């Protein structure tokens, strides 16, 4: 009896949500489109960065350096300039991100065995991109130096770095971002579905009708949580399938460990959503509330920038963010093949957040019945 009532409510929630063609569409269509677009767009790897070369040197050595830049997939030389005054407009107008300036005595200095400087002028407006580009230039110069030294037989005794990257052998940034999008989109849809569920009924007056039925607040809570959970699980599954098939992201760990994570993550997301819903009087407030939670949750989760780089105080805040734990789990299971026991420390905080928010939502239900 107890569970039949909950089930009846959950079925009603589903119908209310999915009967409308437009609601059905916004739950399924856009997240997939988002995954596709963002999966390809959200990347820190730089390709075809427009550069200009200002080569005043006529020697062989500088041509060799320029051809290395040209050969790199990261850069695309869009202009060769011959004069100082051409430089500023190119950068100002964002036609190029950087200019490689090779001094006229470059080759001669190099042959003399003294340091030959190369100047890089960067557009710092997007500091992140600038830094990345700088990294690439650095690596090219390093390679160049090593091969120059080798060709001059000057290497002497050197220690050589043999670098390997684990889990993401080619350091593709979409291997990092796309699993993160699983968490982001699942959170978005689940949070909105649950945050609006009670607010919508309050606005339409149907919540009263619900409260006079023998349903207990706790049953209403569970009945409202179930659709969020199920939609979240389906959404996550759909995105994971697209992720594995389209983006070729490996799934190295066990699905069990992943789905336990999804379940606990959804529990906490649903808890937060219902809490927002219980506080809100109107749907507008519910959406804005969901938003005020979601944006910091995404920023603080380590989705785009590492938590370790944040100030200590902010790092403490991230412990309240369920997405933080979930991202470790998705990335762990997909890329690292993490086992259940290795992820244990990610599971229990989400469970605690879920239980805390759901209890609070339940309490708010009872105490805000009028």
Compute the distance between CA of residue 102 and CA of residue 69 in angstroms, rounded to an integer: 12
Assess 15 for contact with other proteins (CB under 8 A): yes
Both tokens assigned to 326: 């979930």
Shortest distance in whole angstroms from residue 121 CB to other proteins? 5
Residue 297 CB contacts under 8 Å (≥ 6 apart), including other chains: 187, 321, 322, 323
Give 20 or 359: the residue with its C-beta nearer to other proteins.
Answer: 20
Assess 19 for contact with other proteins (CB under 8 A): yes
Q: Please say whether the beta carbons of 330 and 261 come within 8 A.
A: yes
Q: Please say whether the beta carbons of 167 and 28 come within 8 A.
A: no
CA atoms within 13 A on the CB side of 289: 22
Assess 316 for contact with other proteins (CB under 8 A): no
Task: Indicate which single residue of 186, 253, 267, 331 sits in contact with other proteins (rule: CB under 8 A).
Answer: 331
Q: The dihedral of CA 160, 166, 169, 171: what is its sign? A: negative
Q: Residues in contact with other proteins, total (CB under 8 A)?
A: 141
**Residue span 203-232 as binding mask against other proteins, x where in contact by CB under 8 A, dash where not:** xxxx-xxxxxxxxx--x-------------
157, with CB counted inside 10 A (0-12, 13-18, 19+), is: exposed
Write out the binding residues for other proteins, residues 54-113 only, by CB under 8 A: 65, 89, 91-94, 97, 110, 113
Give 82 or 156: the residue with its C-beta nearer to other proteins.
Answer: 156
Assess 312 for contact with other proteins (CB under 8 A): no
**Residue span 240-279 as binding mask against other proteins, x where in contact by CB under 8 A, dash where not:** ----------------------------------------
Task: Indicate which single residue of 299, 351, 356, 360 sits in contact with other proteins (rule: CB under 8 A).
Answer: 299
Task: Indicate which single residue of 54, 176, 247, 265 sits in contact with other proteins (rule: CB under 8 A).
Answer: 176
Q: Please say whether the beta carbons of 319 and 313 come within 8 A.
A: no
Write out the binding residues for other proteins, residues 105-144 only, by CB under 8 A: 110, 113-132, 134-135, 137-139, 141-142, 144
Shortest distance in whole angstroms from residue 250 CB to other proteins? 12
3-state secondary structure of 46: coil
Write out the binding residues for other proteins, residues 340-369 only, by CB under 8 A: 342, 369
Compute the distance between CA of residue 359 and CA of residue 367 in angstroms, rounded to an integer: 12
Write out the binding residues for other proteins, residues 142-161 only, by CB under 8 A: 142, 144-145, 148-149, 154-161
- What is the DSSP secondary-structure string of 247-309? S-----S-HHHHHHHHHHHHHHHHHHHHHHHHH-SSHHHHHHHHHHHHHHHHHTTTSSS-GGG
Give 207 or 259: the residue with its C-beta nearer to other proteins.
Answer: 207
Shortest distance in whole angstroms from residue 92 CB to other proteins? 5
Compute the distance between CA of residue 163 and CA of residue 326 in angstroms, rounded to an integer: 29
């Amino acid at each position: 009896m107890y569970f039949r009532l909950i089930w009846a409510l959950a079925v009603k929630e589903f119908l209310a949500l999915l009967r409308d063609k437009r609601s059905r569409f916004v739950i399924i269509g856009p997240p997939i489109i988002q995954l596709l677009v963002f999966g390809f767009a959200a990347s820190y790897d730089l390709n075809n960065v427009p550069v200009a070369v200002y080569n005043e040197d006529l020697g062989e050595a500088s041509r060799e350096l320029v051809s290395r830049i040209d050969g790199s997939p990261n850069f695309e030389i869009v202009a060769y300039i011959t004069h100082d005054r051409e430089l500023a407009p190119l950068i100002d107008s964002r036609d190029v991100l950087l200019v490689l300036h090779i001094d006229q005595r470059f080759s001669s200095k190099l042959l003399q065995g003294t340091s030959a400087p190369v100047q890089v002028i960067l557009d710092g407006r997007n500091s992140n991109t600038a830094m990345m580009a700088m990294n690439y230039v650095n690596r090219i110069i390093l390679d160049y130096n090593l091969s120059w030294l080798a060709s001059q037989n000057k290497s002497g005794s050197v220690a050589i770095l043999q670098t390997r990257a684990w889990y993401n052998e080619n350091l593709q940034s979409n291997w990092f971002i796309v699993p993160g999008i699983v968490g982001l989109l699942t959170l978005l849809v689940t949070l909105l579905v649950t945050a609006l569920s009670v607010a919508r009924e309050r606005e339409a007056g149907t919540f009263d009708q619900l409260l006079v039925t023998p349903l207990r607040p706790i049953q209403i809570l569970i009945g409202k949580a179930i659709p969020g959970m199920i939609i979240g699980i389906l959404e996550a599954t759909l995105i994971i399938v697209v992720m594995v098939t389209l983006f070729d992201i490996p799934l190295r760990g066990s699905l069990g460990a992943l789905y336990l994570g999804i379940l606990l993550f959804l529990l906490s997301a649903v808890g937060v959503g219902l809490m927002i819903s219980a506080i809100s009087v109107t749907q507008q407030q519910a959406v804005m509330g969901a938003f005020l939670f979601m944006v910091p949750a995404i920023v603080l989760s380590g989705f785009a920038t590492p938590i370790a780089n944040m100030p200590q105080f902010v790092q403490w805040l991230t412990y309240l963010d369920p997405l933080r734990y979930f991202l470790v789990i998705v990335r762990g299971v997909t890329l690292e093949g993490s086992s259940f026991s290795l992820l244990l420390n990610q599971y229990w905080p989400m469970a605690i957040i879920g239980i805390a928010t759901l209890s609070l939502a339940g309490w708010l239900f009872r105490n805000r019945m009028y």
